[in-house]
Amino acid sequence: MKHSLNRSRGFGTAEVILTVAIAVLVVVVVVPVVLIFFNALWVDGKFNAADFVRVLSERDTYMALGNSLFIATGVTLISTTLGTFFAWLVTRTDLPYKRLMKGMFLIPFMLPSFIGALAWKMLLSPRAGYINRLLMDSGLTDGPVFNCYTYAGIMIIESMYLFPFVFIQVSGALERMDPTLEESARISGAGLFTITRKITIPLVLPSVISGALLIMLYSMAHFGTVAVLGIENGIYNIPTLIYERIHQSAGSFESIRTGTVLASVLVVTAALIIWLQRRVLDKGKYQIIGGKSFRPLEIKLRKLRMPMFILCIVYIAITIVLPTVTIFLVGGLKTYGLPFTWENLTLHNYSFILFDWQLTRDAIWNSISLGLASAAIAMFAGVMISYVIVKMKVRGKGILEFLGMLPFSVPGSVIALGVILAWSGKFGINLYNTVGIILVAYVARYMAFSLKANSAALEQVHDSLVEAARACGASMWQALKDIVIPLVRPGMLAAFFLIFLPALRELTVSVMLYGPSTRTIGVAIYTLSEDGETVYSAALAGIALIIIVLGQTFIDRFANKAKAK
């Protein structure tokens, strides 16, 4: 008799797994998000749209909404231009050292943008910025030239760390694109500019727009850069206003009320952006990939070859090397503001943070332990949920995929506010100001990573292997334990690392949820900077960068070994 995992009679094992999986996602995801809308529109159990409108009509509220849209639009335009240009340069031209350049352009993708903003604050603040001071001390200018505490400063600095969203998508599309259309245009006498404008860009336009919408979504919900550079000049976006209202009023009802209204707007905006992205991808399915093996057309830059290479080097030096070196140097200063000389540099700050200061030691431990715990929980939960989605034909499994991906589509500040509402005693469980509430938020936030990695691994496991085990008398649980889990272990480990590293550098969620003893690395860096402890903030940021780079290196080696097998 042939046993099939794809059939289930009555309320069997498949339904049990489905029920447990849905219950996990409902508790972790649905309840917090639903409570956001409920608290925004209901007061004392009664529908109250007028109060919702009143909060939106307050000056601080609509200014924050306008700032979010304005900054996100500027960041999207700058990032899309940079990402598309550099993607074309490293994939379709004869630029020297293209592989190295491509790897360098991906580095900002793994660096926390708020640490970059902190570095640029040290370099470009009007009074104390090292570049401004250098220009004034040398007599080249009478006053500061640069001011990072402006809309333009925020947009440019945030774009440095978000342009890889477009770069990755466009470079992938260009590498897979059939070059015959470009070759035909070249044979017909068209020049480089005409070919690029009329053929190349239109063909990859869906990838460009898709990446741009991702940047818009991320920037609308981004906390770090605006918090570091904007608040100084009275510039708030939605996440920073939510943070300010809740922390200044110690979580009063009115601040929570304002936060839920703003969070609701973020959710609606995110849903609209995701809908637009899907429409673009559905309508933009141009056939740019042929069936034959080919190498993309390489355009000869000729006299522009070295200038373009120098441009890439200069861009990398300014956006990656300069701020990173600044972080480490400032972290080694005896006092912030001193010139970078050997007499003024010391390793004491780093040793003090790592071994002596309880606050930073706790922050490092909290981040590592939260990263490990959330990665492990999401990994195992993701395997169970992915198994239902990929391998079982039971009604309702489509709900799982939607719920699992929902938190990744919802801004982090919304997730944070939702778990505050859900787990601060409302249902008999009070996790407020504990590590537990951050852990719940992390699991919800990064569950999508686990689902993607585990689903991809499960797709490669043929159903016949489990069916054979069932035919030999093994129970479903035995088949899972002895066959499925060993085969998808690489996917599980990939999911673990995909969650651990972002959780390690996370700020947007943590800054809304931390308590006196539950600071994470990101929160500690931000709060130390705000308290004027600049050298300690920079030293901790430098340590965080080392941890992130080591973690990314380990992940890359693991991925390469997995591919080799």
Q: pLDDT value at position 523? A: 93
Under 8 Å CB-to-CB from 418, ≥6 apart: which residues? Answer: 31, 32, 33, 35, 36, 263
Q: pLDDT value at position 289? A: 46
Under 8 Å CB-to-CB from 356, ≥6 apart: which residues? Answer: none
How many Å apart are CA 525 and CA 521, to the nearest integer? 6
Question: Both tokens of residue 363?
Answer: 């922050």
**Residue 52, number of CB atoms within 10 A of its CB:** 19
Element (H, E) at 42: strand 42-43
Under 8 Å CB-to-CB from 135, ≥6 apart: which residues? Answer: 141, 144, 145
How many Å apart are CA 500 and CA 515, to the nearest integer? 21
* Residue 44 CB-density burial (10 A; 0-12 exposed, 13-18 middle, 19+ buried): exposed
How many Å apart are CA 60 and CA 343, to the nearest integer? 47
Q: pLDDT value at position 541? A: 94
Domains recognised in the chain with CATH numbers = 1-6+14-43+347-521 (1.10.3720.10)
Q: How many residues are there in the chain? A: 565
Q: pLDDT value at position 7? A: 43
pLDDT in tens, 416-425: 888 888 888 7
Sites in the chain below the pLDDT cut of 50: 1-10, 286-293
DSSP 345: B
Helix, strand, or coil here: 152? helix
Q: pLDDT value at position 108? A: 87
Q: pLDDT value at position 352? A: 93
Q: pLDDT value at position 3? A: 44
Q: Judge if pTM exceeds 0.85.
A: no
Output 158-161 pairs: Cβ under 8 A, ≥24 positions apart: 158/71, 158/75, 158/113, 158/117, 158/219, 158/222, 158/225, 159/75, 159/78, 159/79, 159/82, 160/108, 160/113, 160/116, 160/319, 161/108, 161/109, 161/111, 161/113, 161/116, 161/225
Half-sphere CA count of 213, side-chain side, radius 13 A: 20
pLDDT in tens, 108-146: 887 888 999 999 999 999 888 899 988 888 888 888 889
